């Protein structure tokens, strides 16, 4: 089989980029999009001048303002961002119908069978960058590789305004020297485990058998074993399957005890039910609650269940709160949806 050609296109600081495009005076000053500090907001994204001060996405706005007192903070205009995203996705679709959007600002494209540009993924990536900038004024970074996981790493390799290509013959050498912290799914906890094992690069990881990795990391151990060898057979999926639906609220003041948390639960459950109705009442697999305490520790608890009710979520919340018994700054409720494969299996005739 001929090698696949996968592109990963990622807009650079997308929300901030739209604001800077529409107001050039914002281009050279620290800028962030997010909620206000008074309302316990967080940063959705920020531009590169803000990042120079240490401001990052998902950071509490109050902390961002301490790091950068001159930070310009804007609320998100998501209707405008969605409109720009649709323009960019249209450009992607002109190159190939095999586009898998991941969010408003990034997507995978399978260009294996595209004959334009003499079939060169590098030229296709350049065309995407030039057309997106010309038509929308937004800069994107693009990575090209034979697999999705490497294409995503490549798009982030030379940001901002990057273009990085990993050719098939370069894969093994590139992956050998790749820090394991760059692998998808290796967060702080798994990174600490790998560091304790003396594993810094994928070459180090290759010395561990799959059985040993599964023993230490569970199911993710098999994934680590594959990624360390550059193996990723996932296809670009034009239709992405929604796996969950949830709602959450960050409170202006911490909820001091379980009783107060329970009282705040009903509006969340109502919002969740309304959102599920908009999605056509999909089949449910599990219910879950999400609790962030005042020390920013986070816990999530789920259970099997098919009924959206205050009582079911209240029982989960009571168990989750017991894990820390601290004031609560954020509450969320949600459902995991039944996978399509499971629905197809249930519909098979006996």
CA distance 272 to 248: 9
Give the residues across from 46 on adjacent strands: 32
CA distance 156 to 25: 27
CATH at 75: 3.30.70.270
Give the residues across from 109 on adjacent strands: 7, 99
pLDDT at position 342 is 52
Please give the mean pLDDT across all residues of the chain.
90
- 55 and 157 share one domain: yes
Q: Does the pLDDT value for residue 11 go beyond 60?
A: yes
Angle at 42 between CA 71 and CA 64, to 5 degrees: 35
The residue-averaged pLDDT of 151-163 equals 94
Q: Does the pLDDT value for residue 197 go beyond 60?
A: yes
CA distance 131 to 147: 24
- 118 and 14 share one domain: yes
CA distance 215 to 62: 41
Question: Does the annotation list 211 as a binding residue?
Answer: no
- 56 and 122 share one domain: yes
For the chain, what percentages of helix, strand and coil (3-state, to nearest 5) are there?
45, 25, 35
Question: Can you give the residue range of the structural domain that contains 10?
Answer: 1-166
Res. 6 pLDDT band, cuts 50 70 90: very high
**Overall number of domains in the chain:** 3
Helix (H/G/I), strand (E/B), else coil: 73: strand
209, part of any domain: yes
- 5 and 146 share one domain: yes
Boundary (domain end) residue, out of 115, 131, 166: 166
Q: Does the pLDDT value for residue 340 go beyond 80?
A: no
Give the percent of the chain with pLDDT over 90.
69
**Beta-carbon contacts of residue 253 (< 8 Å; ≥ 6 apart):** none
CA distance 232 to 55: 33
Strands of 62-128 (E only): list them. Answer: 72-74, 99-103, 106-110
236, part of any domain: no
CA distance 113 to 219: 33
Question: Does the annotation list 10 as a binding residue?
Answer: yes
CATH at 223: 1.10.150.20
CATH at 329: 3.30.1490.100
Other C-beta atoms lying within 10 Å of the C-beta of residue 129: 18
pLDDT at position 1 is 66
Helix (H/G/I), strand (E/B), else coil: 131: helix
Q: Which residue in 87, 106, 226, 233 is the catalytic one?
A: 106
Using an 8 Å Cβ cutoff, are 85 and 105 in contact?
yes
pLDDT at position 221 is 93
Q: What is the pLDDT of residues 204-261, one digit of tens each?
A: 999 999 999 999 999 899 999 999 999 999 999 887 667 888 988 888 788 999 999 9
The pair phi, psi for residue 179, each rounded to 5°, is -60, 140
The residue-averaged pLDDT of 146-167 equals 95
- 146 and 206 share one domain: no
Boundary (domain end) residue, out of 166, 185, 209: 166
pLDDT at position 350 is 47
- 18 and 73 share one domain: yes
The region of weakest confidence among 48-57, 211-220, 270-279 is 270-279
- 218 and 255 share one domain: no
pLDDT at position 305 is 67
- 70 and 153 share one domain: yes
- 133 and 23 share one domain: yes
Q: Look up 106 and say whether it is catalytic.
A: yes
pLDDT at position 346 is 45
- 185 and 84 share one domain: no
Other C-beta atoms lying within 10 Å of the C-beta of residue 251: 17
Q: pTM score, two decimals?
A: 0.77
- 133 and 260 share one domain: no
The residue-averaged pLDDT of 27-39 equals 89
Q: What is the pLDDT of residues 294-321, one digit of tens each?
A: 888 889 999 886 678 888 999 999 999 9
- 178 and 144 share one domain: no
What are the structure tokens assigned to 340, written together?
């399509």
237, part of any domain: no
Boundary (domain end) residue, out of 129, 148, 166: 166
200, part of any domain: yes
């Amino acid at each position: 089989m001929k090698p696949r050609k996968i592109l990963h296109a990622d807009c650079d600081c997308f929300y901030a980029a739209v604001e800077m495009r529409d107001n050039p005076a914002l281009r050279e000053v620290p800028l962030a999009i997010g909620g206000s500090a008074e309302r316990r907001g967080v940063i959705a994204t920020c531009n590169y001048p803000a990042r120079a001060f240490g401001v990052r996405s998902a950071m509490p706005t109050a902390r961002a303002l301490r790091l950068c007192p001159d930070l310009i903070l804007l609320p998100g205009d998501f209707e405008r961002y969605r409109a720009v995203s649709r323009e960019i996705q249209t450009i992607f679709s002109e190159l190939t119908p095999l586009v898998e959007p991941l969010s408003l600002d990034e997507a995978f494209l399978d260009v294996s069978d595209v004959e334009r540009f003499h079939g060169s993924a590098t030229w296709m990536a350049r065309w995407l960058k030039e057309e997106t900038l010309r038509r929308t004024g937004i800069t994107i970074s693009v990575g090209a590789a034979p697999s999705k996981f490497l294409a995503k790493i490549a798009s982030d390799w030379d940001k901002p305004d990057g273009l990085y290509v990993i050719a098939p013959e370069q894969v093994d050498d590139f992956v050998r020297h790749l820090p394991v912290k760059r692998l998808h799914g290796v967060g702080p906890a798994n990174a600490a485990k790998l560091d304790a094992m003396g594993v810094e690069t994928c070459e180090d990881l290759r010395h561990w058998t799959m059985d040993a990795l599964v023993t230490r990391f569970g199911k993710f151990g098999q994934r680590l074993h594959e990624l360390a060898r550059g193996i990723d057979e996932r296809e670009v999926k034009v239709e992405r399957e929604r796996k969950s639906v949830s709602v959450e609220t960050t409170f202006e003041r911490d909820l001091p005890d379980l009783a107060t948390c329970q009282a705040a639960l009903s509006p969340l459950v109502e919002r969740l039910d309304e959102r599920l109705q908009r999605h056509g009442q999909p089949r449910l697999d599990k219910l879950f609650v999400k609790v962030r305490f005042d020390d920013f520790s986070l816990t999530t608890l789920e259970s099997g269940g098919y009924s959206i009710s205050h009582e079911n979520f209240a029982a989960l919340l009571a168990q989750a709160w017991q894990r820390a018994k601290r004031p609560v700054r954020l509450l969320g409720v949600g459902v995991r949806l039944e996978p399509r494969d499971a629905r197809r299996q249930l519909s098979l005739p006996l």
